[in-house]
Homo-oligomer: A and B are copies of this chain.
């Protein structure tokens, strides 16, 4: 970066140059991309498979932009029979809700052979990512990183000498198509645990980088030339420097724990928002979350160190993903001298909760409204509908309509979705720590219509699943907004719990976890005209109905691009009016 000091005390010509430099530096850019989505053969973990790639890459290309830039992405669908959309996870899409990339909600899926332009502003620096949001195309590998740097004139509130980016995912050998069929079957078939965890799309299924530390013969040491599609990306560092590690999780299922052997990590950013820096030995990251971590290479420089990713919250049947922190001038193939970090026990939720509770907004961050205008309590339950296993919210299992809400709400269509608003709460006598007495539920496509610019509380209430003594982690992700996480608690949320809310420095996030049998309280301002998904970021859970839809200020939208509405009842509406 050019380091020109612009002082007001210079001579006039220098001042002119300064102004010129400043304005050109400040001028936000429009960054153009041409992307084609297609299936391709790939070996994410050493076993050849089919992935959904972009421009021949898996994961898709990393986008790097500066805050204030406009991204202009021409996305061509080169699949043969499938539609496609891409969601820009964490980007709020102020003024461009049709670019949010959620099929059935913000746009029609892009048909095979067609091109759709995603054009939107990245208004806030941070660590983001993008991914498919149609069927289970995220599970098929449709994802990549989106990094927004601070604007040229701005500075991060911390210093570092270098930077790395890790996009975490999980991988099944069964195709996402077949997974879809499994999850939609009666009798139900669960997809099981992932075969492999991937770091930047790379994992090792048939071997282990840490093979020499393993007592079992199941995972022999990896024989790598280094140019394999599944060879780990090594992090090359100099001793005694500080590095920023960006990390985001786009897993379909797995909750993860990240550690860097022997190194402390200082968390400085979460979901594109600065947090009060705090130091940990290991950290949890749930699907849909992103973080920036600072670490200093202050350990014995003659060694290399493990970076490990492990499963949390589910009995781990998937090996740790590993890569190497390579201190210069050591050989990158020199293995660390000790075994990879041991993650906390998978069901040690105390550890997870302790981590979550440490995440607080950096001083000076926007504060939440002190009151809420509306509070919606969302109970999640596992259910049976006609024998099919589903997830429901307040007893409604979300089924998306074929006409996107953004069009059917804007044009007041009557038959596009359930016009009745879904329940604001659940029965008083529901026992969240026991299996439901009545495990029935219903399908629904209703919308929570939020009054524009009001303050909305959402209490996510976890409960027992179908089987006794089972309650799972669910990371909930909100489109179009950040929310403040006001607090976490155990058991059923009560009015009393409100007193414990953190209104002083709650962190702004776009994803928040609910712990087993617990609740999580969120607050946000409904200030972004559009229709927004709010859902469990676990792909099979969303597929099974675990989500809701918020709509706000849709009538304020002027022109929705035709391209977003050329399907279902909106297409019909326009074609009939023309009287073809």
Contacts and interface: CB of A to CB of B under 8 A. Distances in A.
Nearest to A85: B81
A578 B577 contact: yes
Interface stretch (A230-238, A432-440, A567-575): A567-575
B567 A572 contact: no
Interface string A164-180: 00000000000101101
A301 interface: no
Interface string A282-318: 0000000000000000000000000000000000000
Given A81-B135, A111-B83, A566-B567, A50 B401 contact: no
Interface in A76-111: 80-84, 104, 108-109, 111
A117 to B, nearest CB: 13
Interface string A553-576: 000000110110111100110111
A396 to B, nearest CB: 18
Interface string A185-215: 1000000000000000000000000000000
A563 B40 CA distance: 32
A43 B87 CA distance: 36
B185 A40 contact: yes
Interface string A488-519: 00000000000000000000000000000000
A25 interface: no
Given A178-B50, A566-B572, A135 B80 contact: yes
B180 A39 contact: yes
A134 interface: yes
A402 interface: yes
Interface residues of A, number: 47
Given A83-B81, A136-B80, A562-B576, A50 B177 contact: yes
A39 B575 contact: no
Nearest to A576: B562
Nearest to A82: B81
Most chain B Cβ neighbours within 10 Å, of A38, A81, A84, A562: A81
Nearest to A132: B81
A113 interface: yes
Contact of A111 (B80, B109, B177, B178): B109
A224 interface: no
Contacts of A402: 111-114
A380 interface: no
A577 B134 CA distance: 29
A577 B576 CA distance: 11
A580 interface: yes
18 contacts: A40-B185, A80-B135, A80-B136, A81-B109, A83-B83, A83-B112, A104-B113, A113-B402, A175-B178, A177-B177, A559-B580, A562-B572, A562-B576, A566-B575, A567-B567, A571-B575, A574-B580, A575-B575
Give 5 nearest A-B pairs by CB, closest first: A113-B402, A81-B135, A80-B135, A566-B571, A562-B575
Given A111-B402, A113-B401, A574-B580, 5 more contacts: A81-B134, A83-B83, A111-B111, A175-B177, A175-B178
